[in-house]
Amino acid sequence: MKTYKFKKLLQNSGWLTNASITVDDKGNIVDISTSENQDPSFFGEHSIAIPGFQNAHSHAFQYAMAGLAERHEGTENPDDFWGWREAMYQLALSMNPDQMEAIATMLYSEMARHGYTNVAEFHYVHHDKDGKPYDNLAEMGSRLVAAAKSAGIGITLCPIFYQKGGFGLPPNDRQRRFISATIDEYLKLLEASKAACNHYEQANIAIGIHSMRGVEPTDIAEVAKSGPQDIPFHIHVSEQLKEIEDSIAYLGKRPVEWLLDNVALNERSHLVHATHLTDEETVGIAKSGANVVICPSTEGNLGDGLFPLRKYQEEGGKWSIGTDSHIGLNPLEELRILDYGQRLITHKRNTYFSPKQADGGTYALEMATIAGRKAMNNFEHEYFKIGAPFNACILDGTHPLLVSCSDKSLASTIVYASDSAMQKATISHGRLIVENGRHTKQNEIRNTFGEIMRELGSR
């Protein structure tokens, strides 16, 4: 048993003052209490605890190329999404399983440093460098699970069904490590990936479809109908304008329009990006109960566009955040970028809202937490609950902007005025994995990552 004490702890109903959380040996909460006069704790009497952040969309291997696609000299350099994709293919074709694991471990430890306690890993580098399946179909997925275990965060492994090179097109050779040619091949990969998750108690499985252009649409509908119904269903959709144009040419419908007509979307569905939508599609997603996963720093970096968040929220739509290519890793920064993009196109300031919640910071944390948990197959709405794992992002309450902040303004101060210096520690499944801004295995993980980067020669 271990007890953590905080000056403030965020619950759905508001802030608890002088709160204590006791966890058992498995990291599950056995007691939540408050006291008028609390002794300074392990974190100090001014620590502030909020729910651990949920990273609902990650391509771990792309962390190795973060910052490397920003030079635009000549026609061969990536200057839009499709050019960037070629640089990504080069990296995907170059790494072996050991390198994948080292990159992912580094990434996941950095996610933890920024307050993430869970990640949905949208994983599509499945095969060897020649495009042949490994003896263990889920070899690469197993390495991602091992990386999450080393870093100490939870992982939802989403092995991706990737079949085609575009609408009506065969896969190209640069995609050879990604491909499952048939539904049967994909379901075998899914089963092997599920077995890989058995090696880590904080790992579970989800269905992943690369995109409407990456899988024959009729196969998407079949997997959604006949595949497991008790796990999340993730898919990239409507990220780029060219994707919309190609969909109309091939299907006679826009991607989300087709999905709404042919797939029974529900609260287990997670549509990633969904950047370019009509009003009808926006309303349709919201009414279906599906969730949208928005990746603001990546979508900005790639020039994708801005998701129609205000319209979506007006219809009661639920959303979460992800870091995708990991050009940014701070969840609070993701929330700010998302909000400020909306302010710039609407010329209004009140982006994060609901009829029941007028405080923008409180609303943003609620969406990112609850919808993000759904992406991990966790439908628990209570932030901290007896019997649930204790996952928390710990902030330094001695920061000048937090030390005298009222409860009424505290959440919005954290969301809108924070920087990484405020983020003090991270607790995952009751275990302190980041302390004083450093991952507990930081030196070991960074040294291995440095060696791998020198091997790859990509930086």
Same fold, 2-51+382-443 and 53-375: no
Domain spans of the chain?
A: 2-51+382-443, 53-375
Per-residue pLDDT at 457: 87
pLDDT exceeds cutoff 70 at 299: yes
Per-residue pLDDT at 35: 81
CATH number of this structure's domain 2-51+382-443: 2.30.40.10
Quick one: pLDDT band at residue 90, thresholds 50, 70, 90?
confident
For range 315-330, the mean pLDDT: 97
List pLDDT tens digits, range 142-172: 999 999 999 999 999 999 999 999 999 999 9
Considering the four listed CATH numbers 3.40.50.620, 3.30.70.260, 3.40.50.2300, 3.20.20.140, the one that applies to the domain covering 53-375 is 3.20.20.140
Q: How does the average pLDDT of the chain come out, rounded?
A: 94
Point out the residues that are catalytic: 273, 324
List pLDDT tens digits, range 241-295: 999 999 999 999 999 999 999 999 999 999 999 999 999 999 999 999 999 999 9
List pLDDT tens digits, range 164-209: 999 999 999 999 999 999 999 999 999 999 999 999 999 999 999 9
For range 347-352, the mean pLDDT: 90
Distances (CA, A) of 203 to 117, 145, 211, 243, 378: 12, 7, 24, 32, 12
Cβ 145 vs Cβ 197: under 8 Å: yes
Amino acid identity at 186: Y
Per-residue pLDDT at 210: 97
Per-residue pLDDT at 420: 82
Tokens of residue 374, six digits:
């759904």
For range 91-103, the mean pLDDT: 94
Identify which of 41, 265, 52 has the alpha carbon closest to the alpha carbon of residue 153: 52
Quick one: pLDDT band at residue 80, thresholds 50, 70, 90?
low
Could you tell me if residue 274 is left (phi over 0), alpha (psi between -120 and 50 degrees) or otherwise beta?
Answer: left
Per-residue pLDDT at 40: 47
Among 18-22, 283-287, 402-406, the range with the most confident prediction by mean pLDDT is: 283-287
Question: Which one has a higher pLDDT value, 36 or 318?
Answer: 318
pLDDT over 90 percentage in the chain: 86
Per-residue pLDDT at 160: 98
Per-residue pLDDT at 193: 98
Which stretches of 27-138 are DSSP H helices?
81-92, 97-113
List pLDDT tens digits, range 427-449: 999 999 999 999 999 999 999 99
Per-residue pLDDT at 39: 54
Dihedral pair phi/psi, residue 205, rounded to 5°: -120, 155
Per-residue pLDDT at 71: 72
DSSP structure string for 322-351: --BT-S---HHHHHHHHHHHHHHHH--S--
DSSP structure string for 202-242: TEEE-EEE--TTTS-HHHHHHHHHHS-SSS-EEEEES-SHH
Cβ 430 vs Cβ 202: under 8 Å: no
Per-residue pLDDT at 89: 84
Longest dimension (CA), the chain: 68
List pLDDT tens digits, range 40-67: 445 556 799 999 999 999 999 999 999 8
Per-residue pLDDT at 121: 98
Per-residue DSSP letter, 304: -
